[in-house]
Amino acid sequence: MSTVSNALAYDLQEGIKDWPKWAACSADEQCVAIHDACGGWAAVNVGFKKEGEEYQSEMAPSVDCVSDTNIEPEPKVLCINQICTVKPGGLSG
């Protein structure tokens, strides 16, 4: 089974949804942090970093950000349930 083409994640408002191939992973080492449309952070598969960055840039004009959130330093990213994820607060490691 290809995790890149079949990546699924649970969205609390929409239920199960397909996530972009650039978020799929099978190990933490496959994930990297990029700036999101509001200056925060998103996690993507390192092989799709450029595609993820381009998507965030395209989204920026249409996203209503709460504030200019240029958050530093770069967070740790993890592969959780086959989806690259910015490490949630409270997780060790």
pLDDT at position 18, please? 55
Q: What are residue 61's phi and psi, to 5 degrees?
A: -65, -25
**Closest to 18 measured CA to CA, from 37, 1, 33, 5:** 5
Beta bridge partners of 34: 42
| pTM, to two decimals | 0.69
Eight-state DSSP code of residue 26: S
Answer whether residue 85 shows pLDDT above 60.
Answer: yes
Amino acid identity at 80: I
Domain boundaries, the chain: 8-86
**Mean pLDDT over all residues of the chain?**
76
CB 80 within 8 A of CB 23: no
Average pLDDT of the segment spanning 50-72: 79
